[in-house]
Amino acid sequence: MGYPANGASGNQSLKFLIYGRTGWIGGLLGTLCRAHSIPFHYGSGRLENRASLLKDIADINPTHVFNAAGVTGRPNVDWCESHKVDTIRTNVVGTLTLADVCRDNGLLLINYATGCIFEYDPYHPLGSGIGFKETDSPNFTGSFYSKTKAMVEDLLKNYDNVCTLRVRMPISSDLSNPRNFITKITRYEKVVDIPNSMTILDELLPISIEMAKRNLTGIWNFTNPGVVSHNEILEMYREYVDPNFTWSNFTLEEQAKVIVAPRSNNELDAAKLKNEFPELLSIKDSLIHYVFQPNRKLKA
């Protein structure tokens, strides 16, 4: 198919090709497609192997391609600091190859990227409510992971068939998933307490499917409006899930002693996404509605 102009809604029957079968977001996408009776297939090709991607497209003949594959590192992004070539191969070479193959075949690519390419600065101070916009250039390269993501985002601007979604600190209602930001911080010995933009997957992944249907392209801050801090989330966790839960805070300086690479902290301006999807909830309302109320173990 040829992707229509930005924002045009195609009437063709849908068939999605999804990369990232074994990943968290890729798995959730498949579950959503099944729930909404959208035909889909997981790609079997390696992102950096152009021939294998071409075979997937020829075999499946999709209407849209979704890229939820990528290297984030296990157990965290510190892994990327000592596996730089592996990180480049997937996050840069692989993503660019997929975008290029999709463009050659007239296919829209929904690319789940990251918003962890910014940090609070004098023009976007912590607590100011002034978030980074889609047009702002990344200012955080503290981790090699973020450096590769910023690099590929800049290059993808040249592809008119790509929709780049800046995901941040993803959260879902599945509090047993170790990739869930809430699950992570409830298991940490100590946490920092900094307001950040975050992505509630239960609300936003269905929106990403709708974005594909609308053939939207370009860069999008893919977070719920507003910010929430670590302590605010843990207070909700204590209120809704475990009344005996306790935690300790430490400073960024103390955190730096137990991690290899610095972490990104920022607020992204979600006005563009909110304008396209007016029903989008603020981060705190979305946390309560999609995450904590379904997991409520305490009486109101």
Rounded CA-CA distance 240/75 in Å is 27
Show the tokens assigned to 57: 């497209």
Show the tokens assigned to 226: 């507003």
Show the tokens assigned to 78: 């510190």
pLDDT in tens, 246-291: 998 877 666 655 554 567 899 999 999 999 999 999 999 999 999 9
Rounded CA-CA distance 245/40 in Å is 41
Considering only CA atoms, give the Rg of the chain: 19
Q: Which neighbouring-strand residues pair with 124?
A: 121
Show the tokens assigned to 23: 């990943």
Show the tokens assigned to 205: 């992944």
Which of 195, 203, 194 has its CA nearest to residue 223?
203
Give the phi and the psi of residue 114 in degrees, each rounded to 5.
-140, 150
The backbone region for 215, taken as left when phi is positive above 0, alpha when psi lies in -120 to 50, beta otherwise, is: left
- Residuewise pLDDT in 10s, the chain (300 residues): 345 645 545 446 999 999 999 999 999 999 999 999 999 999 999 999 999 999 999 999 999 999 998 766 565 667 787 788 988 898 899 999 999 999 999 999 999 999 999 999 999 999 999 999 999 999 988 788 888 999 999 999 999 999 999 999 999 999 999 889 999 999 988 888 999 999 999 999 999 999 999 999 999 999 999 999 999 999 999 999 999 999 988 776 666 555 545 678 999 999 999 999 999 999 999 999 999 999 987 655
Sheet holding 16-19, edge to edge: 40-42, 16-19, 64-67, 108-114, 162-167, 218-221
What's the whole-model pTM score?
0.92
